[in-house]
Amino acid sequence: MGQRTAEKDEYTYRGESRELVRRYFTIPAHDDAEVTGISSMSLGAKTKAAEWSRRILGMSKDTDANFGRDARGKKEPVNWGPAILEGKPCQVRVEIREDSNGSERSNVVNVFAPGSFEVSEVSEDSEATEELQSAPF
């Protein structure tokens, strides 16, 4: 699995318009299915965008979900532009969530360095709502 691309997006939360980065990942093991994850546009070294990028680039082996204020220790700065990350392998955690219209949507909730975990396969008729897959960015 890997990140295919990333692009700037906009959404409204509680009546306020916000900019974000939507990252697209492909999952070759599932006929190149595409899943997305979002992060802020913030350039700080402890942001989710920076940590996901460090993991994709192999600069971090962390497997937690501690970003921002929850991040521990010094984090080195990283350039996380799409041109640098595109096509790089990684692993993602995908959760199935219900959107505001009641439809189920897959959502990338965390990104890991390649080989961080054994890849799990979850069948479509499974009760499980999470997957850990390998994909290019």
The sign of the CA dihedral 89, 7, 132, 135 is negative
What confidence score (pLDDT) does residue 121 get?
A: 55
Full-model pTM:
0.76
In the chain, where are the structural domains located? 3-136
Return averaged pLDDT per consecutive 10 residues of the chain, 137 residues in all. Answer: 74 84 87 88 87 90 79 80 87 88 89 84 43 51
Burial 36-75 (b: 16+ CB within 10 A, else e): bbbbeeeeeebbbbbbbbbbbbeebebeeeebeeebeeeb
